[in-house]
Structure 1
């Protein structure tokens, strides 16, 4: 199988502790979970994979592109990322926020309205499209975060605690969506 993500001797040092060395590979088409107790370094590993953290030892490859290379941005096009964002300062409608986000992510302009409508309907927030995103409940905000993850049809999906603040119905729906992807 083709290796989509490779960590080779990854080591991140902090003042009083370190994460690693860690080596692992994730094959294309596979689902992988990163488990550990609070403070064990899961988010550090995800942020390094995303390119948010750049100072570490070892090698991270995404689709054969080194995370520290000058062309790492090419692999970002393939990544959909979910994290819990609050949106407390976003004084904009959910619909306009998602349209603007699509522009930033490079979604083709003629596809933006179609994609935003599809995903807002899929995650059952379409009827709230004109509501300010800062006024959404936590569960609705998490569904907006999920839309951001999937809206550009990513090849790689990275999720940091995707089930948090979702009830069992939405957790199951997200699980089935991941299986489809």
Structure 2
């Protein structure tokens, strides 16, 4: 099952914000892009490489390959887990490279909303306080501590030489 988004990207102007993308919907969101110049749809004929550059909210740039349709009028881009791992706005542009020229489209933006729930072990870390025996934070899907978690934390704290903070210590800070 796929979520197809048919959008038009003008080569000269910025193209607006597209919504409906959800964090961690990996390889199911597909962009079908028609490159336009005004109202005219462009044919994509001569190129050595064509790709989409995306700037994530954490300022990391991703390069996604574009597949050109048989009629040379539409691009297909499959959004990967790297593009949808962070909620926020992705800044995107299409690059067409030929040996004689480089052509860059106007910018378009994809808004990725945060996922509400989890679907399994490979989603996201929601309990940053529990460190497993191998030193890594386990991936859990519930945002509360079980009684066993609480007991384990109390035991770890009890083994540490940690001085408790009193109300007087807090009052001294202000």
Q: Which protein shows a greater Rg?
A: 2
| Common topology (TM > 0.5) | no
Larger helix percent: 1
| TM-score grouping bracket, smaller chain normalisation | under 0.3
If the length of structure 1 is used for normalisation, what is the TM-score? 0.24
Instruction: Give the alignment's TM-score, normalised by structure 2.
Output: 0.24
